[in-house]
Amino acid sequence: MYSNAISIGISNFILFLVVLLIRKIVHKEGIKDFLIHVDKRGLKLLLEGIIIGIIGFLIYTLIVYLFGEGTYSYESSTLKKSLLLFLIYGIGFLAVALFEESLFRGYILQKLLKKFSMTKSIIISAAIFGSIHFFEYSSSYYFWIGLINASIIGILLSVITIKTESLMMAVGFHLTWNLTQRILFLNSLFKYNVSINFKIREGLLSGTYFVPEAGLAVSSVLLIISLYIFLRFRHKEKKVIKME
């Protein structure tokens, strides 16, 4: 039952360490050059990202539910087992977030910014991030929506990284966006008898269990998150200007 989560964690932690090692050997750079830090500010950004990721995917389920394309169910008798699965998958998807964010926003984006404008760097890194999801999303009939949404996520995480000069908020979002959908879909994906289950009618709005990003509901969520990011950092910029 736990082998899938464990394999996700081990494989991605290894990939994360490989990225660290390559950067150390090639560029003589350490983990701080990835904009990873666990000071007070870093932990606050991580927490903010975690909250955005959870709320973002829950908004997806709400949209799908309100349009009659999904249903919730709850079983209290399996709560302890569900919490253990949540913990194990949490570690696994933390590894995924560390690997992908260190590679795409901590490495590729940072190197692009030294050669190109901010806009061009964001677009290139996001396009690469979206394109690597092709094979993962190709099983969905609406995979092209998934590729567009993945690229938009890449843009948003790039903006967050540039504005905060930190990878922590992006890591938090990436972690809980993946974790929340996996926990809610565990029963439908692997027939695990977990406490909380969200069943969807796969289609244009909801996407699929493996690729909810291939649905227009995720597109709507990303629009909401984009608005939040715009307002959050616009306010910060105004504050800085006022102080100057």
Q: What is the DSSP string of the chain?
A: --HHHHHHHHHHHHHHHHHHHHHHHHH---GGGGT---SHHHHHHHHHHHHHHHHHHHHHHHHHHHTTSEEEEE-GGGHHHHHHHHHHHHHHHHHHHHHHHHHIIIIIHHHHHTTS-HHHHHHHHHHHHHHTTHHHHTTSTTHHHHHHHHHHHHHHHHHHHHHHT-SHHHHHHHHHHHHHHHHHHHHHHH----SEEEEE--BTTTB-SS-GGGSHHHHHHHHHHHHHHHHHHHHHHHHHHHH-
Say which residues have a Cβ less than 8 Å from residue 197's Cβ, sequence separation at least 6. 72, 73, 74, 75, 184, 185, 186, 187, 188
Say if strands 196-200 and 70-74 run parallel, antiparallel, or are unpaired: antiparallel
pLDDT band at 32 (very low <50, low <70, confident <90, very high): confident
pLDDT band at 243 (very low <50, low <70, confident <90, very high): very low
Residue 60 falls inside a structural domain: yes
Residue 244 falls inside a structural domain: no
Residue 222 falls inside a structural domain: yes
Q: What percent of the chain has pLDDT over 90?
A: 70
Residue 86 falls inside a structural domain: yes
Distance CA 37, CA 33 (A): 10
Residue 119 falls inside a structural domain: yes
Q: Give the best-scoring range by mean pLDDT among 36-45, 131-140, 228-237.
A: 36-45
What is the number of structural domains in the chain? 1
Q: Inform me whether the pLDDT recorded for 236 exceeds 60.
A: no
Q: Which amino acid is it at 138? A: S
Q: Which domain holds residue 8?
A: 3-30+38-239
Q: For 83-125, write each residue's pLDDT tens digit.
A: 888 899 999 999 999 999 999 999 999 999 999 999 999 999 9
Q: Inform me whether the pLDDT recorded for 191 exceeds 90.
A: no
Q: Which amino acid is it at 125? A: S
The arithmetic mean of pLDDT across residues 198-220, rounded, is 95
pLDDT for the residue numbered 111:
92
Residue 214 falls inside a structural domain: yes
pLDDT band at 154 (very low <50, low <70, confident <90, very high): very high
Burial of 233 (0-12, 13-18, 19+ CB in 10 A): middle
pLDDT for the residue numbered 244:
33
The arithmetic mean of pLDDT across residues 186-203, rounded, is 88
Q: Which amino acid is it at 234? A: R
The arithmetic mean of pLDDT across residues 149-158, rounded, is 97
Residue 16 falls inside a structural domain: yes
Q: Inform me whether the pLDDT recorded for 237 exceeds 50.
A: no
Q: Inform me whether the pLDDT recorded for 178 exceeds 90.
A: yes
